[in-house]
Amino acid sequence: MNRRDAADLAGMVGLGAWVAFGVLTMVVIGQDGAQLWSDDGFLAWSLGHRPDVAEALARGVTDTGSGAVPYVLTVLAGMVAGRTARRRMGAAALGLACLGAGQALRYGVMEAVQRPRPARADWAASAGGWAFPSGHTTTAALTAGLLIVAVSLRAPRGATPLRVVIGCWGVLVGLSRVYLGVHWFTDVIGGWLFATGWLGVCLYAMTRWLPASFVSGTPRAPDDPTEDHAPQDPGRRGRSRPA
């Protein structure tokens, strides 16, 4: 897939996610933040299936979706994506910018929508702020997306199992928020859609405007003697040119 096709794909996926996120946001606002669809069903199931071991595991998973972990993983993604030390630092900086700007935009949406969380009596983990979209879910999904892109750049054909593991981690962080009772399921869906939309925007911009050599290799030197010349004819090797 060439750069233009990759940019178009990222743009289309991002646009589709933004449209879906916009529709869901309007529905949440229209219902004054009340539960939607199967929100009650998912929460009821979670409350009825919380053995101590599973609850502890869910807390461990959910903790990886906030704090320093996503930022460390984002830097790791940059280190994987770049081929030289300078490009690794640049890729890490771009990843952190994508994650940080996405967080700021998400906070703005949360403050605008102001959806309440489930009742505090149902919580099995700490939480703060408004509910929609889920912060842990958004952060983990953005981080997982950046990691998958980095792995795909370095090993486009041989890293499918690793990509699946990374994707499952991003999904499980979101589901753990519902299981622990601190978010509605539609908050998590909103987080996934938001992350996909924002990642699509970032990847579109990076693919269209970054130089082709940023992650793919060293550009050819301007004075390369083979550049802009036709291939040499092996059959003419050693012959003098006609006068």
Each residue's pLDDT tens digit, 45-60? 999 999 999 999 999 9
Q: Taking the model in full, what pTM does it have?
A: 0.83
pLDDT in tens, 150-168: 998 877 677 788 999 999 9
User: Residue 58's closest CA among 139, 147, 123?
Assistant: 123
pLDDT > 70 in the chain, percent: 85
Count CB-CB contacts under 10 A for residue 112.
11
pLDDT in tens, 2-31: 677 778 888 899 999 999 999 999 999 998
CA-CA distance, 64 to 26, in Å (whole number)? 30
Mean pLDDT of 119-142: 93
Asked whether 91 and 77 are in contact (CB, 8 A), the reply is yes
CA-CA distance, 188 to 15, in Å (whole number)? 19
Residue 218 in this model has a pLDDT that exceeds 50: no
Least confident range of 64-73, 80-89, 105-114, 222-231: 222-231
Residues 6+ apart with CB under 8 A from 215: 81, 82, 83, 87, 91, 153
Residue 65 in this model has a pLDDT that exceeds 90: yes
pLDDT of residue 242: 47
User: Residue 150's closest CA among 210, 68, 75?
Assistant: 75
pLDDT of residue 186: 96
